Chains A and B, each alone.
Chain A
Amino acid sequence: MSMAAPLTYTLEKRDNDNFTLNLGPQHPGTHGVLRVVLQMDGEYILHADPVLGYGHRMQEKIAENMTYLQCLPYVCRMDYLGAMSYNLAWVCAVERLCGFEVPERAEHIRVIATELNRMASHLLWWGAYLLDLGAFTPFLQAFTDREQILDILEYLTGSRLTYCYFRFGGLPDEVDDVFLERTMSFVNGFRKRLKNYHDLVTGNVIFHHRSKDVGVILPFDAAAYGLTGPILRGSGFAYDVRKQEPYAAYERFDFIVPTETSGDCLARYNVRMEEFVQSMNIIEQAVNTIPEGPVRSKVPKTIKPPRGEVAMAVETPRGELVIYIVSDGSKKPYRVKFRVPSFANLSVFARLARGQLLADALAILGSLDMVIPEVDR
């Protein structure tokens, strides 16, 4: 029983039946203000052209006009679902630039918070992807658990989405045991609840038919488009910045980088589902081995790094974020480049959507896990 769509579709067909379909900027399936101009033949997509920039804020110019500290709240505004990773990336980049030390306890808390945030982001993706496939319940099923993570992070940072929590040289204030206990009880509970997620969706035959062999990213394409993150790992590369260039305290923890080889939506799904487990492993280890001590090292009040340049790579929930800073020795960065993962990941969409059905194209878009303000910056 084969239910896959015909894989080859004659794209060379030229007649007057083609029409242009504006998918977005306001469309339930594009997760934000993304517009894709589609050339369609019936339900088949002949050509897709993403149009970006609806949420463009010129973050890089803003950063040039601000001190390093003032920039801190702004970086979180790019990827509001993985704000902790952005926060960490900026803080680590400036620390690398200035050569600040970070106490071990602070590093552990950073890892815990970032991994919790990664789980929250993946949960939202899980719900939104299934919403793209037309299932409504997973969205709010994921929200019940995401809400608990946000509660924990709100307890830690005082904010639910754009945390702005890490500071140069550590954390703003001491972390109490209540946070660690709540984290552990959440992780223990979520390990059990994850089974429900699999029961509801992973085994579902409709879900399988919708995501298997849909939107296959070949390994050769992955390098050409500079893909990173779970999307890349679904195509067979075990590339994870946490493993390859460990930052914070990731080299101390034992975890594996889940990979799949088929490169389709199902592979990307499975990778992310496995990352829940790995994140929980990391959190457990980090909580169990957290040392006592200060959470902030001595750093000067005014950050004035030496001349030079630095590139800091961080694995956000969506892939590899590289913050490239050129410093001219003043209080403000001379040039900041945010190499955001969604941007590169979205660029492959036009290629994947060619010759697909409209429904599949939206499933692919969902499986790429976009945050449009991050793409636009």
Chain B
Amino acid sequence: MIECCYIKDIIRGFASLLVGMRVTMQNMLSRPHTVQWPREEAPLPPRFRGHITVLPDEMTRYPKCFACGTCARNCPSGCITVSGKKPAGARKKVANSFFLDFTRCSLCGICVESCPVGALDFSRHYALADFDGRKFQEMDLLQDLVSPF
């Protein structure tokens, strides 16, 4: 009986190896799943979280942010510094500086959620790289916006 089991074991083991080899051969004949970035691009999901940006006001094109500082207070990593002042003749403050320390940001999105006027949103930039790290330590988010000052 022992001999019988011995041979049966060997044959069964051998068959299991062939089954495994069938799977890898199937893999080989199927299409690779790689997306060859940057030649191909994977679609960005709608809720993609890039670094944050300050949105402009639809009417005035000035920054929507009125520098209340809620985002800076709520940020777990303390990477937002914002300040603002009143433009001449306006009732509300407008941000005149909004810096993000992207090297410490953990992209949690608490700032975007906590903003009372919805002035923050995630950008869709993802391929960020530079030779200068300081560029990300002080990202000026008001750069592309019209300033009232």
Contacts and interface: CB of A to CB of B under 8 A. Distances in A.
B128 to A, nearest CB: 16
Given A69-B110, A70-B74, A164-B108, A1 B9 contact: yes
Contact of A73 (B12, B16, B110): B110
Listed residue (B6, B9, B16, B24) with the most chain A CB atoms within 10 angstroms of its CB: B16
B39 interface: no
Given A157-B47, A196-B23, A162 B106 contact: yes
Q: Is the interface of B mostly helix, strand, loop or mixed?
A: helix
B20 interface: yes
Interface stretch (A21-29, A197-205, A337-345, A354-362): A197-205
Contacts of B47: 154-158
A144 interface: yes
A154 to B, nearest CB: 5
A158 to B, nearest CB: 3
A44 to B, nearest CB: 26
Interface in A136-181: 137, 141, 144, 147, 151, 154-159, 162, 164, 167, 172
A277 to B, nearest CB: 19
A205 B12 contact: yes
A200 B18 CA distance: 9
Q: Chain B: interface residue count, which band?
A: 20 to 34
B122 interface: yes
A155 B74 contact: no
A167 B5 CA distance: 59
A73 B33 contact: no
B124 to A, nearest CB: 11
A205 B74 CA distance: 55
Given A157-B47, A158-B48, A204 B16 contact: yes
Given A71-B76, A157-B47, A1 B19 contact: no
Interface string B1-35: 00001100110111011011011101100000100
A1 B6 contact: yes
B5 A1 contact: yes
Contact of B27 (A73, A77, A137): A137
A205 B76 contact: no
Contacts of B107: 159
B10 A73 contact: no
A144 B33 contact: yes
B46 interface: yes
Nearest to B5: A1
A66 B76 contact: yes
Interface in A308-363: none
B57 interface: no
Given A70-B110, A72-B108, A206 B17 contact: yes
A77 B107 CA distance: 12
A164 B108 CA distance: 6
B144 interface: no
A158 B122 contact: yes
A205 B109 contact: no
A157 B108 CA distance: 10
B89 interface: no
Interface in A48-85: 66-67, 69-74, 77
Contacts of B76: 66, 70-74
A58 to B, nearest CB: 15
B138 to A, nearest CB: 22
Contact of A141 (B17, B19, B27): B27
B38 interface: no
A69 B5 CA distance: 62
Given A66-B76, A196-B26, A155 B109 contact: no
A156 B10 CA distance: 49
Interface in A66-122: 66-67, 69-74, 77
Contacts of B93: none
Contacts of A201: 20
Contacts of B5: 1
Contacts of A156: 47
A90 to B, nearest CB: 12
Given A66-B76, A70-B76, A158 B20 contact: no
Contacts of B13: 205
Nearest to B42: A151
Contacts of A70: 74-76, 110
Given A70-B110, A156-B47, 7 more contacts: A1-B10, A71-B76, A73-B108, A154-B48, A172-B113, A199-B19, A205-B12
Q: Enumerate the 5 nearest inter-chain pairs by beta-carbon distance, A residue then B residue, closest first.
A: A205-B13, A158-B47, A73-B108, A70-B76, A200-B23
7 contacts: A1-B9, A70-B74, A155-B45, A158-B48, A164-B109, A200-B23, A204-B16
